[in-house]
Structure 1
Amino acid sequence: MTQISLNTINEQLLKSIGVGIAIIRYRDLHFSFHNAAFAEWFGDPAESEAVREITADLRDRAMDAFRETGRFQAEVQVKPKRRTLVIALNMYLTDLEGERMIVAECQNITRMRELEQMIDSYSSMVERNTRQLEREKERVEKLLLNLMPKKVYEEFKTFGVVTPQLHPSVSVLMLDFVGFTDFTERNDPTVTLGELNDIFTAFDRISEQFGVERIKTIGDAYMAVAGMPDPAPDHATAVAHCAVRFLRYLERRNQSHRYTWQARIGLGTGAAVGSVVGVQKYVYDVFGPAVNMAARLEVFANPMKIVAPVSMKFDLIDGFQIKDIGAFDIKGLGQMELMNVEGNMSLAR
């Protein structure tokens, strides 16, 4: 090996753990010096041996870089044993004792690249988990919005609780089906659930059209309210429109489906309180005189009829057909004048 004084080379650099050093003659690319780390990664070059195949593929790029900037940097993969290593090369030109030389500094960055891959993998996992959490959040929000009005949900999401609110003027619709118990006894539960799901889904769409909130279903009972949580001056006409459309939907459905359904509907008006009930299983519920009235009057409705108190006549008379049916003793409410409500033929579709 060409004898070059090594005093000009930093001894600490030569002895640095994990750093490989090689000095190559620029004119013929023969090795003049290399340390143990270089030999471990690239093999031990023989005396005066030229750059071998491990770096030959970089030769053209390196020589072009030397001519332009005097430096060349690259990363190469070597496999001295069974494990593939990533080596960072930093090569530059210098003059040593009048000879143009290439100094090659090599550093094993395998661990760093592995850590980068681990970080990238972890970042991808975090992104996937974040997307999954966002989907779960949307699913939970959608579920909660099915359990409570949007305004109530926003309050619950912001404060964690819902303050009970008294609404002095609302209208409530209560519906149940005639002969539901007999139907459940005659048919498989999956049939019953399928039928109710189909019908209640249609009811929900009708309610949405008129700004009416479905509060809950219990078995075959369907309860909806207008005028809360947001006040609505036309709450009485809104629930009446829903009631009429519910019955029309059932009539048309009965013409084409195997199973036929008949419903009774009671309407009530007055004050009501709305709030979230429960700590672990949240349920938005509505209580008060308007709810009690609708539940009581539903019992007085004949199949496929709508019963409402005469006190709602002023609000409904212009848009509906009204027929007084007399005074009745209503449990908890005393004597009350009732009427049947039907839709105008001009509104039928």
Structure 2
Amino acid sequence: MAMISKFSFLNKLSLRSVLIVPFILQISAAVGITGYLSWRNGQQAVNDLARQLRDEVTKRTQQHLADYLQQPPRINHVNRQAVEAGKLNQDDFQELQNHFWQQMQLFPRSREIYVGKPNGSYLAVSREPDESLIVKEVLGEGDPIGRFYSLSETGDRQDLIRETAPYDPRQRPWYQGTLEARKATWSDIYLFRYGDLGITASELFFNTDGSVGGVMAVDLVLSGISEFLSTINVSPSGEIFIVERSGFLVATSSDAPPFLLGAGGRNPQRLMAANISDRLIRATAEFLMEEKKLEQIATPTQFNFQRAGDRSFIQVAPYPDDLGLNWLIVVVVPESDFMEQIHANTRHTIELCLLALLVATGFGWITAHWISEPIMQLIVGSQKLAKAALSRCDNETLAQNVEVRGVEEVKILAHSFNQMAQQLQESFAELESRVEERTADLRREQEKSEELLLNILPEAIAEQLKQETQAIAEYFESVTILFSDIVGFTSLSARMAPIDLVNYLNEMFSSFDYLAEKHGLEKIKTIGDAYMIVGGLPIPQPNHAAAMAAMALDMQKIMQNFALENGESLQIRIGIHTGPVVAGVIGVRKFSYDLWGDTVNTASRMESSGTPGRIHVSHQVYELLKECFQFEERGIISVKGKGEMKTYWLVNR
């Protein structure tokens, strides 16, 4: 009894008190919790965003390095093969000069392309600081003097610019290092006389008797890497830099160069990352060089460090390659770049919550008085409604008991609610059953629509089309397109009944569709007897050219099994080209996924200018697949709308 009397005041609480006090307590708790969660979520969001940002920047940098550094070794490899195959005379300096000059036109990043031979002879085509080209020549042991000649715009040797002291390529590090490695290799990074960092890729070539014929080499300027890094928007004050394991800088995203020029712009010297003028890069390098962290990092690793009270996020990723490079890509992002706006938003959130608390308290007093008067009328109305429902239902079935303690008015309201709840429960049960039936019907129809849409469009494009209403268009840097055409289709259509012709095409194109799915390619469309397919989109595929070549060879095999009822066999022309395109869906009615660009036109020309029963490919396809497929050189042909092109026949794997 004492316990009951102790809490008996709870049964006498007024509606006004019940409305106001809990409301104020909830708002107060919400202010505190919101402020804490805002701060904690902001911190977590910063960590996640910084991690994702560092990963993305590192991947972009690695991809650019791979693209940037692949040209010099590829040039050396091509030159070595040309010499060893007898297509390039290593003893004819005029022929070598013309060949190197043409390559310098094609690869503007190269500073110099040259060759050194065991007899001390040397020939190089070099790019001067003003972008003009010159030729350097040393005839050999009998004439070791270096001679520099200017070149005309067509690559012809002109005036003698100057002569130098005797020069022996056999004593140079690039020559000796290549002989020692006995394979393609990179030199150490060095400085050009005008200040740019450079690196040399070199490779041995051999005579027909197996003896060393000399060393092919290409000098590459590394300033282009810094130019690319400066275009990446890491964060307002974030930086990217590349270092060697020793700590010397290779490239940076800052305005500070990775080398130091002496008085008058002479005597350039390489910089350690810990000595650069950029404070963030310098502090990051000092942190990483503590306890030899640079030498220990073997996998992508993330660090955090404090600098002048500000925390920074670091990611270090190794960049090795097959020729001996062992660089490190470092991405550093100050935490303050993210937290300033988050702190401001947190302050604004707390201020708004406090304002809401004050406003809600005032309105609570007013609302409590406003609700208490009409609540009694609501009780009377609910009782009448319950009695009307009970006149049509079993009392025992509808009996519901909700025990409410505290406010007297709510007790009466709860009693009326219990009577109505049972009726509503039955109504809702029936309604829910109907809704489930309708939902199941809608789901089946939706599955049919999804299946139809996926038969029309690629899955990725179908998903994007469902989310967006505007035109969908995306640029793809490299895809491979195939066009095929049945030879003699016009005369065939005149001899066959339309239904037989359609059945024949359906059987053949269905076989092609199966091949496309097998090789991971995307069918674009058929027009009459023409069949168009693409590889490398909408999801990029690294081996799209090889997959398309395999597809074409399989199509030839399938055509060998097709024959008309009279035994007549048919042939197809196939054309393939690789290049960039824009792909997407345009329009709002009867849309389809299509491709645009010169690559499409060129692929079509490869087909139309081909020969029945053969696979006609462009030079770009040949360059990508020459190591793993057999080709026959067709030579230079005139292609409508494209001029003269060098093309090939794809023969076999």
Q: With a CA cutoff of 8 Å and minimum separation of 6, indicate the structure with the bigger relative contact order.
A: 1
Does the residue aligned with 1:228 lie in a helix, a strand or coil? coil
Choose from 225, 228, 250 the match for 2:537. 228
Superposed CA deviations along residues 124-154 of structure 1, whole A, max 9, x for unmatched, are 6654543333233222222222222221111
2:576 is the alignment partner of 1:267 = yes
Partner of 1:178: 487
- 1:124/1:311 Cα in 2 relative to 1: closer, same or farther (>3 Å)? same
Q: Quote the RMSD (CA, aligned, Å).
A: 3.2
Deviation of the 1:198 alpha carbon: 1.6
Could you tell me which residue of structure 2 aligns to residue 334 of structure 1?
643
Any conservation in 1 of the 2:573–2:613 contact (CA below 8 Å)? Answer: yes
| 1:166 and 2:475 matched | yes
Aligned to 1:137: 446
Aligned to 2:464: 155
Distance (Å, rounded) in 1 between the aligned partners of 2:445 and 2:567 = 38
1:174 partner letter: F
Which residue does the alignment assign to 1:218?
A: 527
**Of 177-186 and 211-220, the range deviating more from structure 2:** 177-186
In the superposition, relative to structure 1, how do residues 123 and 284 fare at CA in structure 2: closer, same or farther (>3 Å)?
same
**Equivalent residue number for residue 306 of structure 1:** 615
Q: Name the SS of the counterpart of 1:293 in structure 2.
A: helix
Corresponding residue for residue 198 of structure 1: 507
Which stretches in structure 2 are left out of the alignment for 5+ residues?
A: 1-386, 397-422
Could you tell me whether the CA contact under 8 Å between 2:482 and 2:534 is conserved in 1?
A: yes
User: Does residue 276 of the first structure (1) align with residue 585 of the second (2)?
Assistant: yes
Match for residue 546 of structure 2?
Answer: 237
Secondary structure at 1:164 match in 2? strand
Q: Decide whether aligned partners of structure 1 residues 179 and 256 sit closer, same or farther in structure 2, where only a CA change above 3 A counts.
A: closer
Contact 2:581–2:597 under 8 Å retained in 1? yes
CA distance in 2, matches of 1:164, 1:307: 29
SS at match of 1:339: strand
Q: Which amino acid aligns with 1:341?
A: L
CA distance in 2, matches of 1:320, 1:220: 27
Instruction: Tell me if the contact between 2:559 and 2:571 (Cα under 8 Å) persists in the aligned partners.
Output: yes
> Structure 1 residues 184, 151: closer, same or farther in 2, change over 3 A?
same
Change (3 A) 1:342 1:88: same
The 8 Å contact of residues 147 and 215 in structure 1, kept in 2 or not, is answered as: no
Per-residue CA deviation, residues 275-299 of structure 1 (Å, 9 max, x unaligned), is: 1022111111101121111101101
Q: Tell me if the contact between 2:577 and 2:620 (Cα under 8 Å) persists in the aligned partners.
A: no
Match of residue 250 from structure 1: 559
- How many angstroms apart in 2 are the aligned matches of 1:165 and 1:158? 15
Name the structure where helix makes up a greater proportion of residues.
Answer: 2
Q: CA 1:168 to 1:254, structure 2 compared with 1: closer, same or farther past 3 Å?
A: same
* Paired letter, 1:236: A
Aligned equivalents of 1:163 and 1:89: distance in 2?
A: 62
* Local SS of the residue matching 2:562: helix
Give the TM-score normalised by structure 2.
Answer: 0.34
Q: Structure 1 or 2: larger strand share?
A: 1
8 A Cα contact 1:213 1:224, kept in partner: yes
Alignment pair present for 1:208 and 2:523: no
- Structure 1 unaligned spans of 5+: 1-15, 21-85, 91-112, 345-349
